[in-house]
């Protein structure tokens, strides 16, 4: 556990030093969302209706954008060999790496999302649901993405393959997250959707590291 | 007294059996030098010994206990140096060694390891400014800092100057004196007194035999 914490801090430090890694997903998230009012016009009711879907789709694509760096660099420079040979279980190492990755991709999205909601004229009561859905949903996206990133290790043009593999698995998260945010505007409770998101996160924490670690081991063979 | 053995080891890469029927034994204080032409499986054997690669046939054992039974314990007793140096360009030399030493609770050994390989003056330099030989020295210093009983070194001398090779030889001798084991694949002559020699060409499967077996 102590070693996992060290790995988490190490990875976090690496990604914070590599400024472009931090900026790229947020920049994509903000710019892609800004494009929507520019394209469909400033009509408040239309934007409010689109807001949950647009914010979630762009957030999802932003996390996808950052996925390939999760294991690929470590694989190419030999660090993954050393990590697989370190005394800590590889599953725990994967969990530590995914957490560090989420802290530099998912977490910033959650922080800027209210601003984008404001721009998209998001219904005033929906902010809490949006934030909670992102808080539960983006770690799940990172975990699912980790499996995809591990499976495509060593594949040529792995990025395209990764998107094809991972995007279908993102569908349930997207559906329940946007339903949660949309439900509030229609006067329905967001709670059941959020609970489903939470259960997906729990399932992801348990299963994804095991699958990703197995995929990494086979990639290192 | 520890004993690392392999019996009847075979290795398959893709559809090709690289070597088969390979046996070896190394004991505390011992060393094994792997030789053989390119593609004879030196690197594969080292990865196999590290547990990164599963043997196609045969068994690896530490003190008579199969390594596959307790991979965690095996990982704790090896340090592996591959072709790649596992260096992050933005980390300093000290950090590049320190992180991996830290994972094994050996932070105090970073400075001595850097001293041994003459990296002390470069300690705070970002690794992206290092030359190929300096990068190799960094990777070797990492092995020295982690200092588990079994060192698996794949071409440790690549890019090293004569002074660094001498420093490495001293470090290897010290490691063996304190009960360590060294397995190294190398083309360069490196001073490892009383080291066993394993020529992998002897265990290559003749292609005709392979065709028959299939």
Q: What is the ipTM of this complex?
A: 0.88
Instruction: Determine the distance in angstroms separating the CA of B29 from the nearest CA of chain A, rounded to an integer.
Output: 22
Q: Are B86 and B77 in contact (CB under 8 A)?
A: no
Q: Quick one: pLDDT at residue A68?
A: 83
Which of A79, A81, A87 is closest, CB to CB, to B76? A87
Tell me which chain A residues have a C-beta less than 8 angstroms from the C-beta of B100: 82, 86
Cα B200 to Cα A81, B10, B189, distances in angstroms: 23, 11, 17
Q: Are B5 and B61 in contact (CB under 8 A)?
A: yes
Which of A79, A85, A89 is closest, CB to CB, to B80? A85
* Pairing assessment for the beta strands B196-199 and B31-35 based on DSSP bridges: parallel
Q: Is B54 on the interface with A (CB under 8 A)?
A: yes
pLDDT average, residue stretch A119-131: 91
The residue among A219, A112, A125, A131 whose CA lies nearest residue B52 is A219
**Would you say the C-alpha torsion A90, A93, A97, A98 has a positive or negative sign?**
positive
CA distance A67 to A71: 8
pLDDT tens figures, A183-203: 988 889 999 999 999 999 999
Q: Could you give the strand order of the β-sheet that contains B57-62, starting from the edge strand earlier in sequence?
A: B16-27, B3-13, B57-62, B65-66
**Are residues B88 and A6, on separate chains, in Cβ contact within 8 Å?**
no
pLDDT average, residue stretch A132-161: 92
Strand partners, B62: B4, B65
The residue among B45, B47, B51 whose CA lies nearest residue B22 is B45
Q: Say yes or no to pLDDT of A19 above 80.
A: no
CA distance B2 to B28: 5
Q: Are B81 and B139 in contact (CB under 8 A)?
A: yes
Q: For tokens 């060192």, what's the residue?
A: B151
Tell me which chain B residues have a C-beta less than 8 angstroms from the C-beta of A88: 103
Tell me which chain B residues have a C-beta less than 8 angstroms from the C-beta of A86: 75, 100, 103-104
Q: Say yes or no to pLDDT of B211 above 80.
A: no
Instruction: Determine the distance in angstroms separating the CA of A52 from the nearest CA of chain B, rounded to an integer.
Output: 38
Cα angle for residues B197, B202, B203 (degrees, 5° grid)? 105
Q: Quick one: pLDDT at residue A93?
A: 95
Domains of chain A by residue range: 2-220
Q: Is A18 on the interface with B (CB under 8 A)?
A: yes
Q: Quick one: pLDDT at residue B184?
A: 94
pTM score: 0.90
Q: Quick one: pLDDT at residue B213?
A: 58
Burial class (CB in 10 A: 0-12, 13-18, 19+), A206: exposed
For chain B, give the mean pLDDT: 89
Cα A214 to Cα A169, A203, A207, A210, B211, distances in angstroms: 19, 17, 11, 6, 32
- pLDDT greater at residue B22 or residue B193: B22
**Are residues A86 and B104, on separate chains, in Cβ contact within 8 Å?**
yes
pLDDT tens figures, B151-198: 999 999 988 999 999 999 999 999 999 999 999 998 877 888 888 888
Cα B127 to Cα A68, B21, B27, B41, distances in angstroms: 23, 42, 36, 31
**Are residues B72 and A10, on separate chains, in Cβ contact within 8 Å?**
no
The residue among A164, A3, A199 whose CA lies nearest residue A82 is A3
Q: Is A38 on the interface with B (CB under 8 A)?
A: no
pLDDT average, residue stretch A27-34: 93
pLDDT tens figures, B116-150: 998 999 999 999 999 999 999 999 999 999 989 99
pLDDT average, residue stretch A7-36: 89
CA distance B203 to B198: 10
| Long-range contacts of residues B62-68, Cβ cutoff 8 Å, at least 24 apart | B62/B2, B62/B3, B62/B4, B62/B5, B63/B2, B63/B3, B64/B3, B64/B5
Which of A14, A76, A78 is closest, CB to CB, to B90? A14
CA distance A133 to A190: 9
Residue B142's closest chain A neighbor by CA?
A82
pLDDT tens figures, B79-115: 999 999 999 999 999 999 999 999 988 888 999 999 9
Q: Say yes or no to pLDDT of B210 above 80.
A: no
């Amino acid at each position: 556990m102590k070693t996992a914490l060290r790995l988490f801090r190490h990875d976090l430090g690496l990604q914070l030093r590599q400024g472009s890694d931090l900026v790229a997903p947020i920049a994509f998230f903000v710019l892609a969302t800004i494009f929507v009012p520019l394209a469909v016009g400033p009509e408040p009711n239309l934007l409010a209706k689109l807001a949950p879907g647009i914010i979630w789709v762009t957030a999802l694509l932003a996390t996808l954008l950052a996925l390939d760096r999760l294991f690929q660099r470590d694989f190419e420079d030999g660090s993954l060999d050393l990590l697989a040979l370190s005394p800590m279980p590889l599953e725990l190492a994967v969990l530590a790496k995914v957490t560090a990755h989420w802290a530099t991709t998912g977490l910033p999205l959650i922080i800027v999302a209210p601003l984008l909601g404001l721009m998209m004229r998001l219904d005033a009561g929906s902010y809490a649901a949006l934030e909670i859905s992102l808080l539960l949903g983006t770690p799940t996206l990172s975990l699912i993405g980790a499996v995809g990133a591990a499976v495509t290790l060593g594949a040529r043009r792995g990025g395209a393959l990764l998107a094809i593999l991972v995007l279908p698995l993102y569908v349930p998260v997207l559906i329940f997250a946007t339903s949660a945010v949309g439900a509030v505007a229609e006067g329905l409770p967001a709670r059941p959707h959020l609970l489903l998101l939470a259960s997906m996160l729990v399932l992801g924490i348990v299963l994804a590291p095991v699958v990703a670690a197995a995929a990494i081991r086979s990639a290192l063979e | 007294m520890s004993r690392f053995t392999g019996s009847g080891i075979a290795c398959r890469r893709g559809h090709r059996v690289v070597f088969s029927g390979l046996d070896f034994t190394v004991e505390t204080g011992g060393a094994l030098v792997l030789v053989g032409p390119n593609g004879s499986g030196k690197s594969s054997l080292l990865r196999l010994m590290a547990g990164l690669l599963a043997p196609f046939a045969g068994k690896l054992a530490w003190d008579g206990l199969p390594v596959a039974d307790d991979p965690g314990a095996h990982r704790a007793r090896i340090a592996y140096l591959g072709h790649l140096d596992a260096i992050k360009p933005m980390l300093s030399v000290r950090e590049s060694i320190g992180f991996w030493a830290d994972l094994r609770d050996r932070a105090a050994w970073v400075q001595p390891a850097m001293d041994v390989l003459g990296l002390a003056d470069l300690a705070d330099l970002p690794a992206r400014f290092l030359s190929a030989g300096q990068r190799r020295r960094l990777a070797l210093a990492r092995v020295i800092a982690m200092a588990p009983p079994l060192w698996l070194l794949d071409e440790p001398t690549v890019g090293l100057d004569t002074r660094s090779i001498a420093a490495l030889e001293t470090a290897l001798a010290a490691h063996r004196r304190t009960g360590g084991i060294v397995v190294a694949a190398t083309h360069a002559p490196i001073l490892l007194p009383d080291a066993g020699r394993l020529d992998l060409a002897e265990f290559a499967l003749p292609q005709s035999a392979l065709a028959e077996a299939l």
